[in-house]
Amino acid sequence: MNNRGLVGMIVIVGVVLVIGFFWFVGEMNGEGEDEELCIPESCCHATECVLESEAPNCSNAGCTLNCEPGTLDCGQARCEFVDDKCEVVLNE
């Protein structure tokens, strides 16, 4: 095998190793897992979160623009999937 072929083989092996490394790191960090999507349980001034599959149809909802206290309004809180259920997480 000439030098050119050897260099090509080393480059190919290097690329495969780099791709394998990043795939392994992604798997270890939980990337690619099917995490459930949680959204507000009501169209306006929601105080709870539900799975996306259980959410109401808000296409015709007419909500006020008020930032009601104790709700998910105006970024006061957000929905996250925690311990296999949807939870409200307060933003600080």
pLDDT digits (tens, 9 = 90+) for 1-13: 678 878 778 878 8
For the chain, first and last CA: distance in Å? Answer: 63
Q: Nearest 5 degrees, angle CA 33-CA 40-CA 45?
A: 160
State the burial class of residue 34 (Cβ atoms within 10 Å of its Cβ: 0-12, 13-18, 19+): exposed
Residue 61 DSSP class: -
Indicate yes or no: pTM above 0.85.
no
**pLDDT, tens only, 48-68:** 999 999 988 988 888 998 999
Kindly report the backbone phi and psi dihedral angles of residue 37, in degrees, each rounded to the nearest multiple of 5, phi listed first: -100, 125
Pull the structure tokens for residue 34: 């099917």
